[in-house]
Structure 1
Amino acid sequence: MSDALEHADFSPRAEPRLVPVRLTSETERAVQRFPTAVRRDVRRLVRSSPRIADLALVFPGALYTLAARRGTLASRLHARSLVEEGAQLKSVARALDLPMWLRRLPPEAFETLPLALPKSEAFGRRIASRMPMAARESAFWLESVLFAEKACHEDFAIWLAGQHIFADHGDAEKLIAVVAAYAWFSGHPEMAAHKLIVVPWRPEIAFDTALCAAKSWFNRMRLVLQLPPGVVTDPWLKTGPALGYTFEPLLNHTDILAEAHAMQNCADQYGERIVRDKCRLFSVKRNGARVATLEIGPHQREAGVLAINQLKARHNMAASTEIWQAAYTWMASQQALKRLPALGNSERIFDQDAWRTLLAPYRDARSGAAWFDRDASHLMFAGFDADLADLARRGAVSSWLFT
């Protein structure tokens, strides 16, 4: 190919001056539905040829690809010649490196289209029954499905495509990143991050179950990063016995995870509160066996006084009267029930080596997973907390995890 041809402009603006095709009202309406950024070039294309104009109705994604100059110049020229020759749409799609399942999407879906797309026949068959419910949802639906496949795998993308969360536009990368990583690690039981998952993702899992499981998993990740042994050393109250029970502080992620596993409760979701000096947790034992988990925190009405916030038996069931009596007896023996509230937020330090180690297999498999910061920080976790809460709102998921 000569240098002149290689650098020639074969965009719609470079078309020779031909008699413009008169568009039908149906085609004109279809053109108006394309995103503003490409609408002008779409109109020029459809006015250049009746067969090109037909793409607006039968394969908007192919028309968008030509108008947006996606892919190579040679592929677009070849595709246009195939269209003019009346070739099958499969041939046109192949020339443009497009999967045929995109044909089902309306013009509104194509705000952007990356070069890497899921093209397997199995994906095409399965996604067909999970297309967006409304044209106005299609752009965010497509962005989300493509990111889900990139950040996890095709099964996760298919699952996400069927959820009712696309009514409002959003940033798919921010909204879905944590759930995608959780789903990916669910399939790798040999990895350390998987061991922090309680309910693994599976293709038939309900959306609310998956979202709560992903949030709980990410909170455990934060717990591991924030509470390695030695970071928090002040239990506020002294370990000791009372009425045959012992009260032992839980100050690091190893002890807290063991307590949550043994008691089947949510103690492992309290890492941030402990680091911020909002509470302390204690394991209540009798003859060495765990029987309850105790949360101590500031009294709700008496400033500077510690009080029992929660006392729960296994599975968050109510603790017995005997355990409550032991807890109050133990509290009465303490000499330091007065504690001034912390002035401002405590500095939150994250174990960066643990963060990199936990995420390393995922980054290796997902081209670096740039949607997760290289260094863990409060700002990063706060951002993902907000995004997961937004996802819960979209999916009508109600849980204390998102409050």
Structure 2
Amino acid sequence: MAQTLQKNEAIERQIRRYHPSFRRRVRQYAGLSPRLADLVTSFPAAVVAIVSPELNASARGTATRMAKDGESLREVSRVLGVPYWARRLPPEVLAQPLNALPVGSNFEGRMAQLVPKNPEAARRWLQWVQFGHCAANSEFAMWLASQKFFQRELGLGFPLLPLAAYAWYSGVEEGAARELIDEPWNRRMPFSVAATATIAWIEKIVACFEAPRIRRRGPGRYSRQRVPNGYRVVPLRTAAQLHQEGSIMNHCVATYAALVAQGVCTILSVRVQDKRVATVEIRPRGTPGGGYAIVQLQGPGNTRVSEQIWRAVLEWLAVQPADPHAMLGVGDEFVISPERWERIWRPYVTAKGVIGLSAEAATLNRLRRDADALQQIIASSSR
């Protein structure tokens, strides 16, 4: 009697771990037989599938009968369309029946080992896996499952869409977007390599739509690039220019593309003839008529620059108009060609049903921000 009471209490504790919308039905299901009560503990994902209204009556009846008869959980999961590895998922993560998950013998052992034990981590992990499966394919979902970045505070704000699109297009034989990929994704790629390749790909896509405004050649426009003592200043207006500066100067200025596009800051390259010697970030002082101030002035590899370069850049800034950002034309508008956009994105949108990839500047700016976020994640993970 005492043993039965303890078992019932243990089952009730398990039931309380389920989402509130399922608890009443799970409790009723557990009361049908001891083996079904055991299933509540051993395979929560299967129980959620059985008690969900979405499951057809035939599959529900077959799975219930099999569980009562003590047939293998693997066979029960097959009838339900739930991957067998999902038996490792805790009930806390199952707010709805599972769908869009890698299924098959190729995924079983590995996926079961990758499920986090912590319920909150498992919830984020499961969302990553489902997104990867829907937005790319099962191989990419499994690759995402092996990454640890889902444990970070940025959680669902992680820029997964560019990675997924890059992985999907890597498996396409031809097309405008596929031609822009230098290094195709594969499931053995380290995260940093895949992210770097994704960034380069996004930058090429963005560059396809960048078109500087036509500016009047007023007097002094080119002379304003000159800096005392033989130096000159070159504004960096596009993601491609910032990426090139970062590659040559060995620093992370490429991550500032979104800030430049939004007009938050201005990035300039200081050069002697064609040799780059420093990179400058300037921003408004924050008060009306306060002008601009140097926020950063770094040499190659973020090294300190000489006093001569500092003095030359300060002298250059002192003779600029009140808004050097506007004078330099930073933050040029995108020109979207619908036809070109269709050539790049239509195959992916058609195949995966992805929304939010409309032909507008906001989408390109978001892709830029995603690329910048990936760059920052790579930088932080290497520390």
- Residues 1:378 and 1:325: Cα distance change in structure 2 (over 3 Å): same
Q: How does 1:2-401 map to 2 (within 5 A)?
A: 24-162=8-146, 163=148, 165=150, 172=156, 175=158, 177-178=160-161, 180-181=163-164, 184=167, 187=170, 205=190, 220=203, 224=207, 228-230=211-213, 238-240=224-226, 242-299=228-285, 303-331=289-317, 334=319, 336-339=320-323, 350-353=334-337, 358-360=344-346, 362-365=348-351, 367-370=352-355, 372-376=356-360, 378=362
Pick 1 or 2: higher relative contact order, CA cutoff 8 A, min separation 6. 2
- Distance apart, 1:337 and its partner CA: 3.9
Higher helix proportion (structure 1 or 2): 2
Partner SS state of residue 141, structure 1 = helix
Rounded to whole Å, the distance in 1 between the matches of 2:20 and 2:368 is 31
- Residues 1:278 and 1:25: Cα distance change in structure 2 (over 3 Å): closer
Percent pairwise identity: 26
Partner SS state of residue 24, structure 1 = helix
- Residues 1:70 and 1:132: Cα distance change in structure 2 (over 3 Å): farther
Q: How big is each residue's C-alpha offset from its partner over 1:231-285, in whole Å with a ceiling of 9 and x where there is no partner? A: 7889798223532333233334454443333333333333444344444333333
- Residues 1:275 and 1:27: Cα distance change in structure 2 (over 3 Å): closer
Higher mean C-alpha displacement, 248-257 vs 182-191: 182-191
- Residues 1:60 and 1:182: Cα distance change in structure 2 (over 3 Å): same
- Residues 1:30 and 1:356: Cα distance change in structure 2 (over 3 Å): same
- Residues 1:248 and 1:70: Cα distance change in structure 2 (over 3 Å): same
Root-mean-square deviation (Å): 4.7
Q: Is the 8 A contact 1:34 1:110 kept in 2?
A: yes
**TM-score normalized by the length of structure 1:** 0.69
Higher mean C-alpha displacement, 160-169 vs 45-54: 160-169
- Distance apart, 1:67 and its partner CA: 0.3
Extract unaligned runs of 5+ from structure 2.
Answer: none
Rounded to whole Å, the distance in 1 between the matches of 2:294 and 2:258 is 19
Partner SS state of residue 327, structure 1 = helix
Rounded to whole Å, the distance in 2 between the matches of 1:364 and 1:276 is 31
Rounded to whole Å, the distance in 2 between the matches of 1:296 and 1:237 is 19
Rounded to whole Å, the distance in 2 between the matches of 1:150 and 1:297 is 41
1:13 corresponds to which residue?
Answer: none
- Residues 1:222 and 1:64: Cα distance change in structure 2 (over 3 Å): same
Rounded to whole Å, the distance in 2 between the matches of 1:297 and 1:291 is 20
- Distance apart, 1:350 and its partner CA: 4.5
Q: How big is each residue's C-alpha offset from its partner over 1:93-151, in whole Å with a ceiling of 9 and x where there is no partner? A: 11112211011223223211244321122221111222222235444432332222322
- Residues 1:313 and 1:223: Cα distance change in structure 2 (over 3 Å): farther
Rounded to whole Å, the distance in 2 between the matches of 1:38 and 1:32 is 10
Q: How big is each residue's C-alpha offset from its partner over 1:337-389, in whole Å with a ceiling of 9 and x where there is no partner? A: 434999xxx99954444766554454355x1222x342556599679969x98
How many residues matched? 362
Partner SS state of residue 246, structure 1 = strand
Q: Which one-letter code corresponds to 1:291 in the other structure?
A: V
Q: Which one-letter code corresponds to 1:130 in the other structure?
A: L
